[in-house]
Structure 1
Amino acid sequence: MTITQLYYVLAVAEHKNFTLAAEKCFVTQPTLSMQIQKLEDELKIQIFDRTKKPIQLTEIGEKIVNQAKNIVNEAGRITDIVEQQKGYIGGEFKIGIIPTVMPTLLPMFLGNFIKKYPKVNLIIEEHTTEEIIKRLKNGHLDCAIAATPLEEENLKEIVLYYEPFVAYIPEGNSSSEKTEIEISDLDIENILLLQDGHCFRDGILNLCKNNKYLNENHFQIESGSFETLIKLADEGLGTTLLPYLHTLDLNEKNKSKLKHFKNPKPAREVSLIYPKNELKIHIIDALRAVISGVVRGAIAFSDVEIISPKKQA
């Protein structure tokens, strides 16, 4: 039994196809198939049911894959241990970021991080919170930036900042003349939301549910971007809520339509998330320091009420 054989098994288990798994592993399909067959012969069991399309794990195969994940991940951490001991901050580092954070936060810290740590090869991927959790647990990401708390047993969270919700209310709305608003001031039946799958959307739903003003069926229009929601609001189709950092790049005309909430301001908690057994802590600490340094000047709210990003029944 070898680490390479287990790596090939994990690839087939993920892609459910020998040819595709071989491509992802940069080997020929016969080579990958032969190594997996050798492992099955050694163990005297079948890991995969090849009669099904797509290929499925057998019952014992599922148990082997779960253990193989631990073995392959731990083997890969030997290099991390050596690099950490040497104080070397470099190598490949995969980070996932949720869509509602990526466009505002990434430009703020990426340039600074690359200049300070040029030996780190950052691989940045945009994923939903659900996909981020899955990839962190499968070892496909080293860390992530997402709204928290997620309450995942095997993941650790380091808070980066608190980002308030800001209402975008066009002229003519009953609350458009107010300096500060409360949740009760929102026209709940006409709020425009991001599409399902965005945790910011779930945060808004939770915010309104917590205040007992919401029947989710009141929401009629959903979109994939804040820019579209703003344009729809300007067309008189409703109001929307935006994350604070997104409001900084609006033009002056649109900024005049923003309404902040009274204290404690409803906000989302944005954190670095990583597996508890992650050994690339030296890179995570470097990332946290850089992000905290650039965000501190743009956002500094303390009197906030954290709204959960998780769907609530």
Structure 2
Amino acid sequence: MTITQLQYVLAVAEYKNFTLAAEKSFVTQPTLSMQVQKLEDELGVLIFDRGKKPITITEVGKKIVDQAKNIVAEAERIKDIVDQDKGFIGGDYTLGIIPTVMPTLLPMFLNTFIKKYPKVNLIIKEQPTDALIRNLLDGHLDAAIAATPLEIEFIKERPLYYEPFVGYVPQNHRLSGEQLLTTEHLDVSDVLLLQDGHCFRDGVINLCKSTKNIQGEQFKIESGSFETLVSLADEGMGMTLLPYLNTLQLESNKKRNLKPFKSPSPAREISLIYHKSELKIQITDALREVISSIVRGAIAFQDVKIISPLAKN
């Protein structure tokens, strides 16, 4: 039994196809199939049922796959130990970022990080929170940036910053005369929302649900981008809420429509999350240090109230 054989087993278990598993493992299909077969012969069991399409995992195979994940992770930890002992910060590192954070945060830290740590091959993927969690569990991501708390047993969360919500209220809106917003001002039927699946949307809904001014949950318009929500608000379709960093990118004529909240401002907690196994922790620590130092200067708010992204329907 070899680590390579276990890695091939994990690839087949994930993709349910020997050809695709070989492609993702950068080997030929006959090589991968032969190694998996050799492992099955050595163990005297079938890990995969090849008679079905897609390939399925046998009952004993499921137990083997679960154990293989642990063994492969521990093997990778050995290299990690050596890298840390040498003070080496480099190698491949895959980072996931949620869509509502990626456009504002990535340009702020990426150039600084790659210049400071040129030996790190940073691979960045934009994914919704559910996909980030799944890929962290499967080992396809080394870390991710997401709204927290998530309260997931196998994930560690390290806050990077607290980003206040800011109201975008056009001139003809009922709240345009308010200098400061409160949660009591919000009416969920009047707030333009992101599409389902965005954690920021869930946070806004939870914020609205904490008020008494809810007329119902029949949302007139939902969009995939904050830019679209701002444009729709300008057309008289309602108001919207924006994360603070997104407001920095608005044109000057639109910034006059921004309304901060009365202290404590509702805010979202943005954290660096990673598997509790802490593989490549030296790179994770370096990434956190760079991001925190940069964002600290951009967000000066101190008195905030964290709104959970977890849906509470």
Range of TM-score over shorter length: over 0.9
SS at match of 2:230: helix
Q: Which amino acid aligns with 1:80?
A: D
SS at match of 2:80: helix
**Partner residue of 2:193?**
193
**Partner residue of 1:73?**
73
1:295 positional shift: 0.6
**Partner residue of 1:252?**
252
**Partner residue of 1:58?**
58
Write out per-residue CA displacement over residues 29-57 of structure 1, whole angstroms, 9 at most, x where no aligned residue.
11111111111111111111112211111
CA distance in 2, matches of 1:126, 1:297: 25
What aligned pairs does 1:7-156 form with structure 2 within 5 A after superposition? 7-156=7-156
Write out per-residue CA displacement over residues 171-201 of structure 1, whole angstroms, 9 at most, x where no aligned residue.
1111111110112223431211111111001
1:147 positional shift: 0.5
Write out per-residue CA displacement over residues 61-81 of structure 1, whole angstroms, 9 at most, x where no aligned residue.
111111111111111121111
What aligned pairs does 1:188-227 form with structure 2 within 5 A after superposition? 188-214=188-214, 217-227=217-227
Write out per-residue CA displacement over residues 259-305 of structure 1, whole angstroms, 9 at most, x where no aligned residue.
11111111000011111211322211111111111111100222111
SS at match of 1:45: coil
**Partner residue of 1:294?**
294
Write out per-residue CA displacement over residues 82-127 of structure 1, whole angstroms, 9 at most, x where no aligned residue.
1100111111111111100011001000111111111111111111
CA distance in 2, matches of 1:146, 1:287: 14
**Partner residue of 2:174?**
174
**Are the equivalent residues in 1 in contact too, given 2:181–2:261 (CA < 8 A)?**
yes
Moved over 2 A (4+): 210-218
1:216 positional shift: 5.8
**Are the equivalent residues in 2 in contact too, given 1:175–1:186 (CA < 8 A)?**
no
CA distance in 1, matches of 2:212, 2:40: 57
Write out per-residue CA displacement over residues 2-49 of structure 1, whole angstroms, 9 at most, x where no aligned residue.
111111111111111111111111111111111111111111111111
Q: Which amino acid aligns with 2:276?
A: K
**Are the equivalent residues in 2 in contact too, given 1:167–1:240 (CA < 8 A)?**
yes
Aligned length: 313
**Partner residue of 1:228?**
228
Write out per-residue CA displacement over residues 185-241 of structure 1, whole angstroms, 9 at most, x where no aligned residue.
234312111111110011111111122444662212111111111111111111111
**Are the equivalent residues in 2 in contact too, given 1:81–1:279 (CA < 8 A)?**
no
Q: Which amino acid aligns with 1:227?
A: E
Structure 1, unmatched stretches of 5+, are: none
Q: Which amino acid aligns with 1:217?
A: E
Q: Which amino acid aligns with 1:210?
A: S
CA distance in 2, matches of 1:51, 1:128: 34
CA distance in 2, matches of 1:213, 1:123: 44
**Are the equivalent residues in 1 in contact too, given 2:173–2:236 (CA < 8 A)?**
no
Q: Which amino acid aligns with 1:267?
A: A
CA distance in 1, matches of 2:8, 2:188: 51
TM-score using structure 1 length? 0.97
Q: Percent identity?
A: 68
